[in-house]
Amino acid sequence: MISSPTGSLAFIGNFGGGEIIIIFLIVLLLFGSKKVPELFRSLGKGVTEFRKAKNEWEQDISEVMNQEPLEDHDFDKKKDDDSDSVSSEGKKQTAS
């Protein structure tokens, strides 16, 4: 399957070369020629940080999905153990 070069820019819709040039010229007029490289540099850094965070998040999810399931615990037994320790502590307090 051959992917088209516009596949990576699918989020911007059906923009052609002319529309992109017009948008670039508007940005150039709004921010000036000295600010445009700084603007695109910070935009690139933001995209890089977003991709890094997305990859870490996906990696964490895949690690969790690949883990062995936790063993079933007998919570009723734990409740009984907790109540025994509370009742024995209560006995100790009444004895003092």
Q: Is residue 73 part of a domain?
A: no
What residues make up the domain containing 56? 32-64
Q: Is residue 44 part of a domain?
A: yes
- What per-residue confidence (pLDDT) applies to 42? 93
Q: Is the pLDDT of residue 85 over 60?
A: no
More confident residue, 10 or 46: 46
- What per-residue confidence (pLDDT) applies to 46? 95
How many Å apart are CA 79 and CA 71, to the nearest integer? Answer: 17
How many Å apart are CA 92 and CA 88, to the nearest integer? Answer: 6
- What per-residue confidence (pLDDT) applies to 56? 96
Beta-carbon contacts of 59 under 8 Å, excluding residues fewer than 6 positions away, are: none
Prediction pTM value = 0.46
pLDDT one-digit tens code per residue, 20-47: 889 888 988 888 888 888 888 998 999 9
pLDDT one-digit tens code per residue, 49-72: 999 999 999 999 999 888 877 776
Q: Is residue 1 part of a domain?
A: no
Q: Is residue 39 part of a domain?
A: yes
How would you classify residue 3: left for phi > 0, otherwise alpha for psi between -120 and 50, otherwise beta?
Answer: beta
More confident residue, 11 or 95: 11
Q: What's the domain count of the chain? A: 1
